[in-house]
Amino acid sequence: MPTVNIARRFCGPPDRANGGFAAGALARHAADIVRVRLERPVPLETDLDVVTGEGGALELRHGEELIARAVPAGLQVHVPAPPGYFEALDASRHYLGFVEHAYPTCFVCGPKRARGDGLHIFAGPLGTRGLVASPWTPDHSLDAGDGKVRPEFMWAALDCPGYFAARDDRKPMLLGEFTAHVDRRVHIDEPCVVIGWKISVSGRKYEVGTALFDEDGELCARARGLWIELR
């Protein structure tokens, strides 16, 4: 039985895994595109079993406890045209997390992570386009062994920009569902751009899109996420 064990480095909140990374770690065991539902916080430094469930679903379990479930799914998301790298760099200077951040050591978007440790994806508002954007240059610790970024790190990169696209007031929310597809893995040290945008709102539920582009502006990965505002 395959297992997933998420190192403490890849946290979102200090005591649990970053949702996008955890979803990507489970999705690596699937043959096709899947929608990952995070049923509860994903623990760190813990062996989690990957179990095949009904209808081709994959379940991430800790003993009898269901942590996450991945089901085959389509991914329909209209991806806006990306900004240039320097436009994204300018947007990132207005990143809300620099002012106040609920989880400043988040692997993806935490400003208190050292360079080469966290991803440092700081998605800020992009003028009047309704997008948030950030530059991202993946470092050597993310290498899959072939000079390209491991897929679960690209899933992680697509996670947090969705939160900052959903709201601009830092209201606490949790990632509930995440569907992503990596069209092409980007190279280590390649200057990339990540964007996020809001798709719809229904009560406390915010549906968002995110996308990742290479240095030539070509789409390399895209995702659709569902964020849920805490009561």
* Model confidence pLDDT, tens digit, residues 5-43: 999 999 999 999 999 999 999 999 998 999 999 999 999
Show the domain range for 104. 85-229
> Both 44 and 90 in a single domain?
no
Provide φ and ψ at 166, rounded to 5°.
-70, -45
**65 and 165 belong to one structural domain:** no
Question: How many structural domains are present in the chain?
Answer: 2
For the chain, the average pLDDT equals: 95
* 170 vs 120, residue with greater confidence: 120
Q: Give the pLDDT confidence score for residue 12 in this predicted structure.
A: 96
Is 160's pLDDT higher than 80? yes
Prediction pTM value: 0.96
**CATH number of the domain to which 30 belongs:** 3.10.129.10
Boundary of a domain, candidates 72, 107, 122: 72
The count of C-alpha atoms lying within 13 angstroms of the C-alpha of 70, restricted to the half-sphere facing its C-beta, is 24
Q: What pLDDT shows up at residue 61?
A: 96
**Residue whose structure tokens are 């991430």:** 60
Q: Determine, yes or no, domain membership for 105.
A: yes
**Regarding beta strands 34-38 and 65-72, do their DSSP bridges make them parallel or antiparallel, or are they unpaired?**
antiparallel
Give mean pLDDT, residues 178-199: 98
Residue 96 pLDDT greater than 80, yes or no? yes
Q: Is the same domain home to 140 and 221?
A: yes
Average pLDDT (114-118) is 93
17, 37, 72 - which closes a domain: 72
> Measured between alpha carbons, how far is 118 from 108 in angstroms, rounded to an integer?
6
Does 216 lie in the same domain as 191?
yes
Instruction: Note whether 122 and 190 are same-domain residues.
Output: yes
Single residue among 72, 98, 133 that ends a domain in this structure: 72
Whether 186 shows a pLDDT value over 90: the answer reads: yes
- Asked whether residue 79 is assigned to any structural domain, the reply reads no
In a domain, 149, yes or no: yes
> 58 and 110 share a domain?
no
Confidence of residue 128 (pLDDT cuts 50, 70, 90): confident
User: What pLDDT, on a 0 to 100 scale, did the predictor assign at position 214?
Assistant: 98
Checking if the pLDDT of 55 tops 90, the result is no
Mean pLDDT (whole number) for 101-106 = 94
Rounded Cα gap, residues 98 and 202, in angstroms: 28
**Domain identity same for 7 and 41:** yes
